[in-house]
Amino acid sequence: MENYDIVKKDFNEIAGLDNEPKWNHNNCYFPYLLRYVPTGTETCLDIGCGKGELSVLLSKTAKKVVAVDIADKMIEYARANNAAENIEYICGNILDMDYASSSLDIIISTATAHHLPYDWLLKFAKDKLRFGGKLLLLDLAKADSLADYLIWGFAALPNVIM
């Protein structure tokens, strides 16, 4: 089981790093994720919203965005820099929160699912999503082979340049 106190501490430290918007592995995929969020979406849950960059983009398509993060510094940054009238930023552990069955149209998460029990996440999505709702996940891959490490090694320089 993940130690969420450590996760919170780590992400609070990350929240204090350089706050200028830059390219990263998450936000370069935001346009692809947003393709799956129909205009007029009623309610979207952003799990692990971080500094709110995706939440504010979702707010332009969804009527309501509920953006959750365990790190209070991330939520503070999001509220100060990525606010919108239809975004509700909540600081807390998603595992401890309760949502009504069939109350969400979209559940989206970037680089957070690996911190959650997968069986919980899938059961949560099955129960909380309305009929036709979508679970959109962008997460980290684990290197399993020497080839994975080599490919990722070659990607280091372009990542630094980006």
| 37 contacts 61 by C-beta, under 8 angstroms | yes
Q: Is residue 38 part of a domain?
A: yes
What confidence tens digit (pLDDT) does each residue in 99-142 have?
A: 999 999 999 999 899 899 999 999 999 999 999 999 999 987 76
Q: Is residue 160 part of a domain?
A: no
Q: Is residue 134 part of a domain?
A: yes
Q: What is the pTM of this model?
A: 0.85
Q: Is residue 51 part of a domain?
A: yes
- Residues in contact with 31: Cβ distance below 8 Å, sequence separation at least 6, in sequence order: none
Q: Is residue 150 part of a domain?
A: no
Q: Is residue 70 part of a domain?
A: yes
Q: Is residue 86 part of a domain?
A: yes
> Mind spelling out the 3-state secondary structure of 21-32?
CCCCCCHHHHHH
pLDDT value at position 50?
93
Distance (Å, whole) CA 162 – CA 111 = 19
Closest CA to 58 of 80, 30, 97: 30
Token pair 């997460």 is found at 139
CATH number for the domain spanning 43: value is 3.40.50.150
Q: The domain containing residue 105 runs over which residues?
A: 4-18+31-141
Number of domains forming the structure of the chain: 1
**Length of the chain, in residues:** 162
What confidence tens digit (pLDDT) does each residue in 59-98 have?
A: 999 999 999 999 999 999 999 999 999 999 999 999 999 9
pLDDT value at position 53?
94
The number of helix segments (H) and strand segments (E) in the chain equals 6, 5
pLDDT value at position 30?
93
Q: Is residue 159 part of a domain?
A: no
What confidence tens digit (pLDDT) does each residue in 7-54 have?
A: 878 787 877 776 665 656 678 889 999 999 999 899 999 999 999 999
